[in-house]
Each structure stands twice: as C-alpha cells, then as structure tokens.
Amino acid sequence: MKGIVFTEFLDMVEKKFGYEVVDQIIEDSDLESKGIYTAVGTYPHSEVVNLLMNLSDRVKLDPTLLLKEFGKYLFDTFLASYPQFFNSVDNAFAFLHSIDRHIHVEVLKLYPDATLPKFESEETEDGTMIMTYKSPRKMAALAEGLIEKSIQYYKEECTIQSENQVEDGSEVKFTIKRIG
C-alpha cells in the first residue's frame, strides 16, 4: 500500500486524538516497519488494518466509522495535492465517473505497482448513479467517505445507500440519488 495512506492516516489520528494515541497504536501493533512511514514508500496493507483495529480499541469507536472519517480526511489531502482532477469537471456524478476512467489511469502511470480498487459507475434512466466498489482490501467505507466529501465539494445533495454484493465486503454497491 502506498505510503501516503499511512502518513495521512497517522496525521488524521494525531489531529483528532493527539500524538499519544498515534504512539499507542504503533506500539500496540507490532509492525514490521516499526511505524516509520514516508509518503514515497510502499508498506504492507496488513499494517493499516492493524493500526485501524488498534485505534478502534483505543478510542472505542467502530472501525467502519473511523475508515469513513479517514476517507473524508483523505479527500481534502487529494484536493490540495491534485486540484486538476477536480477542476476538469463541474458536477459530482461526472467526477465520480472520472475516478475509474481517468484518475486511476493517471495514478497508475505514476505508480505502476499501486493496487487500486475498481469503481464501476453507471447512471440509470431516472438519474440515479450506481457505483460498484471492488477491492480485496475491503475498504468500501473509505470510499464512502471520499464519495460523500466529493458530493459536498460540488455543493450537491445526495442520498448514499451502500449494499454488500459479497459478504466479506470485497464488493459493495453504492446507490447515489440526487435530492430535489
């Protein structure tokens, strides 16, 4: 997993809960990397899961909720680092379509070894958007946080329903409906 996920995750934990918690979950997690991350490095996916579970234990919060919050936090980072992806379209649905078709294509050019989730997107006749998240990493909550934040970014209001397509959460369908 790309280092940026780890550095941003620990940044978020520090901002929300203080460095003390960061220190605790690193110490709790018996990590191969000893919790030393840089944005340009690559680290095992299991470490982020480990950190997330230990954070959940420490702060007594649902890991899914934490992951969703991380998604929201990550959106701001992406927006600051890659504004060109957001300026090229003018509405949320167009942006969501562009993730799989455009943004991930560009990411792979920069990081050929990155394991990216699949985001299949389609719009039904009544204007509902169906997005299907597919990833062995099972981090659909992170995706949901990102989706929510991007709708807000384009100043739109939508309802988002998520539904597991596969029990283990490796495939999740989001149904996004505009309000009004």
Q: Which residues bind another protein (CB under 8 A)?
A: 19-20, 22-23, 26-27, 34-41
- The one-character DSSP state at 42 is B
- The one-character DSSP state at 38 is -
Least distance to another protein from the beta carbon of 157, Å?
Answer: 40
Least distance to another protein from the beta carbon of 19, Å?
Answer: 6
Least distance to another protein from the beta carbon of 25, Å?
Answer: 12
Please return the burial class of 175, using the count of CB atoms within 10 Å of its CB with bins 0-12, 13-18 and 19+.
Answer: middle
Q: Nearest to residue 54, comparing CAs of 92, 96, 93, 9?
A: 9
Q: How far apart are CA 18 and CA 146, in angstroms?
A: 23
Query: Which of residues 35 and 169 has its CB atom nearest to another protein in the complex?
Result: 35
Least distance to another protein from the beta carbon of 37, Å?
Answer: 6
Query: Which of residues 41 and 63 has its CB atom nearest to another protein in the complex?
Result: 41
Query: Which of residues 25 and 147 has its CB atom nearest to another protein in the complex?
Result: 25
Q: How far apart are CA 144 and CA 38, in angstroms?
A: 25
Query: Which of residues 38 and 165 has its CB atom nearest to another protein in the complex?
Result: 38
CA-to-CA dists, residue 17 to 54, 58, 65, 141, angstroms: 13, 10, 15, 20
